[in-house]
Chains A and B, each alone.
Chain A
Amino acid sequence: MLAYIVRRSLYAIPILIGVNLLTFWLFFVVNSPDDMARMQLGVKHVTAEAIERWKDDQGYNKPLLYNAEASGGDKFINTIFFDKSVSLFMFDFGTADDGRDIGYDIQQRMWPSLMLAIPVFVIGLLVTITFALLMAFFRATYVDYAGVVLCVILMSISALFYIIGGQYLISKLMHLVPISGYDGGLSAFKFLILPVVIGIISGIGAGSRWYRTIFLEEVNKDYVRTARAKGLPERVVLFKHVLKNAMIPILTGVVVTIPLLFMGSLITESFFGIPGLGSYTIDAIRAQDFGIVRAMVFLGSVLYILGLLLTDLSYTLVDPRVRLS
């Protein structure tokens, strides 16, 4: 088991190197630092000195990959690639354009993101699976049909509309909760309740329909027929046998997303003014702060790979036949 984890972790290294090379290529090779400086400072009427000053401030005034002027190991260390990309492996994210430490900001903003993402994930999962089980229970009846149609309608609505509609209806017309904002401690509850509910509702459509197909695939298998032949009531068959056996396909899709909860939800956080990592990312994209975007890309891929590893481990928990070697 431990050997497996270590091996899988080592396997992550080439992938992370690949991610790093790709982002390096996107940010520094496709457009040279000079281009970025011109973009940041306004394209026209920009002097060469201003560009140099901007590059100095950002630490972009070094050669990209190979510094011929330096000596020894510095030939490779004293470069943009080493400064900006290799240092990510040490989780040293550098500073943002406004001089703040990115690593510190990420630590601070992680908590509001989790406060929002974890309830949405847990309650959402329970609600969608329950809904899907109900549809599977009433399969091939009008209840099932109506449920599927409802799911298709729910998933055809843009996430933006759930948020805008919810804010308008609940906050503006009914004045039940504040439209947006955030506060630490217990008072966070009143700010979080609406985004959590909206997050759950917007996930119901696609999620339930997907779980329903998984359950229906499982329902047609032989062991289900055996269970019914034994005289077990449909309720027991569905909730004990089918649900347990459907865990593998469900886990495949679900566990991988757990670490990514850290990244927060981009649009929900930004609409509701929650100071999490999602709104951090959006603000960085809008302000074209490449340092933050780079850090978030790296963090995101680390978490994704962690998710893949967790998925494999979770199989051993739900299915004793799976052995990792």
Chain B
Amino acid sequence: MRRYWRLIALLAAIGLGLWLVPVKVVVLWTDALIFLLVGVLTVFVIYMRGKPHLRAPWGQVIRRPLAAASLVVLCAYVVVGLLDSVHFRERLALQAGVENGAEQHYSVEVLSLLDLLTTPLRTRLEKTYSAPLAAQLYSKETVTLDDGSTARIYPRLDYGGVHLDDPASQRGADIAQRSLTALLLGLLAWAMLVAAWVVWLARRHGHGFRKEWRLILRGEAGLPWRSIFGTVGALILFIALALKLGIAYHLLGTDKVGNDVLYLSLKSIRTGLVIGTLTTLIMLPFAVLLGIMAGYFRGWVDDVIQYIYTTLSSIPGVLLIAAAILSVQVYIANNPDLFETVVERADLRLLFLCMILGITSWTGLCRLLRGETLKLREQEYIQAATAFGVSNFKIITRHILPNVMHIVLIAVVLDFSALVLAEAVLSYVGVGVDPSMISWGNMINSARLEMAREPVVWWSLIAAFCFMFLLVLAANLFSDAVRDAFDPRTGRG
């Protein structure tokens, strides 16, 4: 128990801090589930630490350079997603003249920690589209000049590049100078981080700094530190650029209503992660329970469960999702009083989307588990357990469940990227997340219509594409490594 003192103290400190800060914490449904998931994963990791046979395949995963680099990228996404999952409403100042004890009111705007960190991005709204790093609006407007005459010009932006007197001549140099500073600062930060890390590693391994450094360069230091440090470096450089340029300009431009595209892309991360993880979290208990039951008990239980999953999988996925989401839409439209804020309404729809996606996607895993259980229950050790009179429940939890876990794990990591991609398509069809929710699907959907413009408004599309591509690519590479390490059938080769 003493090992967990620090964890408990940390949680208590966070709780106290939240209580003291003048905000009202809003726990959305998906937030609660995300933190439940994080909790489960933490417990799992702590449990695994003492079990070498469970750790071994993970070690194999992490020793692959591509998988290690993907893990770094995924961690960055997860950090952003978690920051964006702590929601609160700011306390409004009490109106003057109201005596103490009056009811405290809170802003209707639900913010997250990420919003707080990116306040300058969030609040600096332009009028409409502007290109990345531009100092002027995308479209011409009629403005009244100082001398009273009117002219059609590209007006200056309200926030992007306001520090320049004459953007036409100064902008290039300014951007170059800022990028260079960002590059240098980023490299400096990176070098310091890597140095500190290597010192720590050297201490741990018990040899000198130079020897450790040589080992890392040769790729013989256990983990593929070269690719890890490389990825971390790329991330740090991007953050430095975003800080240095994003403060003075809109790094990725602005969208139709003037929102910073970088901010939108960052906010979309949570939506993508929620759909990718919660969907599997919701479907997992059904798939595992029903799959194992069908394979273990056979007979009429098997018939019923097979009937359920054949029926569900015979409905085309998109149509089932559409039917269910349309129903939810009708429900939400008819019960507007249930939700205090827009965010809460959008969140409920997101949760329903996860559930429906879960319902449509559990059948494959269920079928796999049923087949595997059918095979396992004929094994000698399970027959021996039956002969000794071990109860069915014990046999399932002690003998069958641990032996099908690799299938579950592989299914979970393989599903993740498909689900992130599905979100974009569903949003296009109109049965995805709530239109008010920031997601890559909604970004693509609104940017799609602007491709016909001249000059083309390409930046929100490309931004959504890059952020999504990076996440899905990292997830795919990582899941490949996981599959190779856990699936006994695919040996390395």
Contact = CB atoms under 8 A, between A and B. Distances in A.
Interface of A: 14-15, 18-19, 22-23, 26-27, 30-31, 35-36, 38-39, 43, 139-140, 152-153, 155-161, 164, 167-168, 172, 213, 216-217, 260, 263, 266-267, 281-282, 285-286, 288, 290, 293-294, 296-297, 300-301, 304-305
Contact of B331 (A30, A266, A285, A286): A30
Interface in B264-286: none
Interface string B415-451: 0010001001100111100000000000010001001
Interface in B438-493: 444, 448, 451, 456, 461, 465, 468-469, 472-473, 476-477, 480, 489-490, 493
Interface stretch (B51-59, B115-123, B312-320, B387-395): B312-320
A216 B314 CA distance: 30
A164 B461 contact: yes
Given A156-B469, A267-B425, A35 B476 contact: no
B47 interface: no
A18 B311 contact: yes
B365 to A, nearest CB: 16
A158 B476 contact: no
A301 B320 CA distance: 11
A26 B324 contact: yes
B451 A297 contact: no
Contacts of A15: 307, 310-311, 314
Contact of B315 (A43, A157, A301): A301
B327 A26 contact: yes
A15 B477 CA distance: 38
B493 A140 contact: yes
B315 A39 contact: no
B323 interface: yes
B334 interface: yes
Given A23-B323, A27-B323, A285-B326, A305 B314 contact: yes
Contacts of B150: none
Contacts of A35: 330-331, 334
A172 B451 contact: yes
B451 A304 contact: no
A255 B492 CA distance: 30
A43 B425 contact: no
A297 B315 contact: yes
A31 B429 CA distance: 22
B202 interface: no
A213 B329 CA distance: 42
Given A156-B476, A158-B425, A159-B425, A300 B327 contact: no
A266 B429 contact: yes
Contacts of A304: 313-316
B333 A39 contact: yes
4 nearest interchain CB pairs? A300-B316, A18-B311, A301-B314, A156-B473
A232 to B, nearest CB: 22
A18 B307 contact: yes
B429 A282 contact: yes
A290 B429 CA distance: 15
B476 A281 contact: no
Contact of A267 (B428, B489, B490): B428
Contacts of A38: 333-334
Contacts of B26: none
A260 B476 CA distance: 27
Given A168-B451, A304-B314, A158 B421 contact: yes
Contacts of B477: 152
Contacts of A23: 315, 323
B313 A285 contact: no
Residue of A152, A159, A288 with most partner-chain B CB within 10 A: A152
A5 to B, nearest CB: 17
Contacts of A293: 319, 322-323, 326
